[in-house]
Amino acid sequence: MDTTKTEGNAASQKGRIIEVDEGMIRSHLDQVLKGTVEETLNALLDEEAERLCEARRYERTPGRKDVSIR
């Protein structure tokens, strides 16, 4: 095994600078945040609908109420 080649490669990588694309990070975080907020709001709306109807989604019960929006 040629240790000179390995040592030279390691030495050249020590001087490397990592570049961070702030725009890409912001875009990704925006997408993650948007998705999380959407999931949370949908869950809250589903729970409220179940409470108002007195039944879960697609559940048919004698006490189920139809709720009309006026």
Is there a domain that residue 32 lies in? yes
Is there a domain that residue 61 lies in? no
Instruction: With 0.85 as the threshold, say if the pTM is over it.
Output: no
Is there a domain that residue 10 lies in? no
Is there a domain that residue 3 lies in? no
Is there a domain that residue 31 lies in? yes
Is there a domain that residue 33 lies in? yes
Is there a domain that residue 50 lies in? yes
- Which structural domain, as residue segments, surrounds residue 48? 22-55
Report the domain count for the chain: 1
- Contact, 64 vs 54, CB < 8 A? yes
| pLDDT tens digits along 12-33 | 667 788 888 999 999 999 999 9
Q: In sequence order, which residues have a C-beta less than 8 Å from that of residue 57 and are 6 or more positions away?
A: 46, 49, 50
